[in-house]
Structure 1
Amino acid sequence: MRIASMPYLDEHATDIAAGVDDVWRSLGETLDRSFSRPGAAGYARLVRAADRAASGPRPLAEGSTFPGFRVVSAIPGRELVLEGRHHFSSYALIFRLEPVDPGRSRLRAESRAAFPGLAGSLYRRLIMGTGGHVKGMRRLLAAVRRRAE
């Protein structure tokens, strides 16, 4: 499924006291670290994710993978587009980075996903209805901010 046709879920943002180059590096390191832990790999296997292991170039670039995600576009200092799919969903995370002031940046994370069928609907209710997705995104952005600052 093309990312543009996936339903919009939400967007989260954080301002970071660091330049876009530092935030970009921190974003890649944080994603790699967060999604390459044994728990993430186990979850990716459980839901039968298309990508279940870290592979490809580092720092993250087009074609890089980690459990649950594949990098489809990487414009250093500007935008990182991840997509994934598993038994219950096709999804994308789009990170956009912009300078705010000298030495300050804003990182935005847009989520898109389709949840086909009854199993997909139940899965959506589980991750969105419980607030798990929102907590996870806020925790991820906070980790990037801490690492960059």
Structure 2
Amino acid sequence: MCSNPDDPTTVPFGFTLDTAEQPDRFALRGRHWFAKYKLIFLLSDTDGGTRVAAQTWAAFPGFKGKIYRALVIGSGGHRVVVRRMLKHIAEQALSAPTPQR
């Protein structure tokens, strides 16, 4: 998610770093005219790997916020974007070199 994986403050446009608690939580937040939002990644060890789960939270205040929510959430666009993001994370993880022991 970060442009520099060694620096958690290099988050994508539209977000700011909320928390980075290694090794299990990375949270971003943001806001614009129609919404306030938070994106949280939870990491947990599994047999031979790491499971990444994403949680999204948002508030859509006012009439314009309701319209924006209908467009973003109601259309299914949010689901598509989050799934694409998780797929990209998985691809990056699978292509990364593994540490030598």
Q: State the TM bucket, normalised to the shorter chain.
A: 0.7 to 0.9
SS in 2 for 1:121: helix
Q: How does 1:42-61 map to 2 (within 5 A)?
A: 59-61=6-8
In the TM superposition, what is the alpha-carbon distance from 1:104 to its structure 2 partner? 1.7
User: Would you say the 8 A contact 1:72–1:81 is kept in 2?
Assistant: yes
Distance 1:140 1:126 in 2: 19
For 1:90, the equivalent position in structure 2 comes to: 36
Greater helix content: 1
Distance 1:83 1:72 in 2: 6
For 2:92, the equivalent position in structure 1 comes to: 147
Q: How does 1:75-86 map to 2 (within 5 A)?
A: 75-86=21-32
Q: Which amino acid aligns with 1:109?
A: A
Q: Deviations over 1:75-100 (max 9, x none)?
A: 12210010000000000001000001
Which residues of structure 1 form unaligned runs of 5+? 1-30, 34-56
Work out the number of aligned pairs and report it: 94
User: Would you say the 8 A contact 2:29–2:37 is kept in 1?
Assistant: yes
Which residues of structure 2 form unaligned runs of 5+? 95-101
For 2:99, the equivalent position in structure 1 comes to: none
User: Would you say the 8 A contact 2:2–2:10 is kept in 1?
Assistant: no
Bigger Rg, structure 1 or 2:
2
Q: How does 1:35-74 map to 2 (within 5 A)?
A: 59-61=6-8, 63-74=9-20
In the TM superposition, what is the alpha-carbon distance from 1:59 to its structure 2 partner? 2.7
Distance 1:129 1:96 in 2: 25
Q: Deviations over 1:92-121 (max 9, x none)?
A: 0010000011x2221000000000000000
TM-score by length of 2: 0.84
